[in-house]
Chain A
Amino acid sequence: MQAAVADQALFGRWVRLEPLSALSSAEATSLMTRSDTIGQLVLSSPPPESCGRFVPVFCVRARRDGSCVGLAANWEVFGYPDVAEIGLYVQRPGLGLEAWVLDMTYLFSHGAHKCLLEVVDGNDSVLRPFEKLGLRPQAWLSEHAYAAGQFRDVAVYSMTADEWSTLTSSNHALARVAASIGGASF
């Protein structure tokens, strides 16, 4: 995998993260409202006042055909100014993982001390790869989300910049994506 920052976008091998525009916002919104997307298993919308507080909100596009496959938002966690929560909604899990690495690396290089991600129980397309990476939830929130017809538990994953550095340096695939954009200015 090879990633680079160019033309105000983040490039991975499979996805491109570009700052959300009026046009791509409409595309992403349309994607989120489709019932077969991961949007069914995400939590609330990010708070508008702090959305994009660390880095821009990105539209995630597949590099193969340029289609919009998701959205990568970030916002400040209420009460904790240097903790960023990521709202990552990507249609295809493999692409989502690469988008997540790009977004996390970029957030840490732009002032986030810690990044947090909430995953609804049953969203195995995220939980399984995380388990393979050796990630463990720091908390399980009981019946915290109403999704797909019932209240469901939510796993909270969070990582400091140091932990992220350790993870990416111990995993060859993650390291290549992360290293290519780390520290780049927007």
Chain B
Amino acid sequence: MSPMLTHQDIELRQLAPQDGQLLIDLDKAGCNIGLIGLPESLQECHVIFQSLESQMWSTPMTALSAGTPFGAFWTALPNVSNLNALLVTLFEGLDRGGVALALYIRHLFWSFPLHRLYTHVGALDRGSGYSAIYEGIGFKREGILKEHALLAGRRQDIVVYGLLREEFDRCMLAFDPALSLAGVDASGRR
């Protein structure tokens, strides 16, 4: 499948049913830092893909580097009244995650009238790497939900991050203007 979006050495393409194993592998590798329930079998993946297809703004995508998938994103809980959605992110390579995530979020804000995205990060060792990525593209830490997730029989705190459209654009103007939405016409030209 050809890439939909490219930036630097990162490609994004639509997450397809054949990527089910990728999701399972990312979950097993500890990439599910939001600690949300994810599929454990290809059959469950199929159900998730079907549900994402029918859900507004879901935009499921895979991130690739040199043709190899290393992450996946989609949105959940779209709220059309409040123009926000929950961002679900799974990365294997944190070093490449920032560019891929910025490209993905730029695509969301470009394509839909979203005012805000928010996401959850488990208060785990691995979570700090994700936090750095989120903060690097403009997410603000909004609070900690105590004992929110149950992981391997233990209660875990969840950190909530939020990002407004204007905050993302301000951040991109400063750090990667090619991904900024400002000064771009409807055809994508500056």
Task: List chain A positions with a Cβ less than 8 A from chain B.
Answer: 43-44, 78-83, 113-114, 116, 137-146, 151, 156, 158, 160
Contact = CB atoms under 8 A, between A and B. Distances in A.
A151 B37 contact: no
B142 interface: yes
Interface string B76-87: 110101111010
B146 interface: yes
A114 B162 contact: no
Given A138-B144, A156-B145, A81 B160 contact: no
Contact of B142 (A43, A78, A113, A139): A139
A114 B76 contact: no
A43 B160 CA distance: 18
Nearest to A152: B82
A144 B116 contact: yes
A44 B81 contact: yes
B7 to A, nearest CB: 26
Contacts of A137: 143
B104 to A, nearest CB: 20
B115 interface: yes
Contact of B162 (A79, A113, A141): A141
Interface stretch (B40-48, B58-66, B147-155, B180-188): B147-155
13 contacts: A79-B120, A80-B149, A81-B37, A113-B150, A138-B145, A138-B146, A139-B143, A139-B160, A141-B143, A143-B115, A146-B115, A156-B160, A158-B146
Contacts, number: 73
A144 B84 contact: yes
Q: Which of B82, B86, B116, B143 has the most CB of A within 10 A?
A: B82
A142 B146 contact: no
Given A78-B86, A79-B35, A141 B142 contact: yes
B83 to A, nearest CB: 7
Grouping DSSP codes into helix (H, G, I), strand (E, B) and loop, the B interface class, with mixed when no group exceeds half, is: strand
Contact of B36 (A43, A80, A82, A158): A80
A143 B164 CA distance: 8
Contacts of B34: 79
On chain B, which size bracket covers the interface?
A: 20 to 34
Contacts of B149: 80
Given A78-B77, A80-B36, A144-B162, A156 B143 contact: yes
Contacts of A144: 82, 84, 116, 118, 162
A143 B145 contact: no
A146 B162 contact: no
Interface string B99-117: 0000000000000000110
Nearest to B32: A79
B96 interface: no
B170 interface: no
A140 B34 CA distance: 18
A83 B145 CA distance: 11
Nearest to B84: A144
A78 B143 contact: no
A55 B143 CA distance: 28
Q: Which of B34, B35, B77 has the most CB of A within 10 A?
A: B77
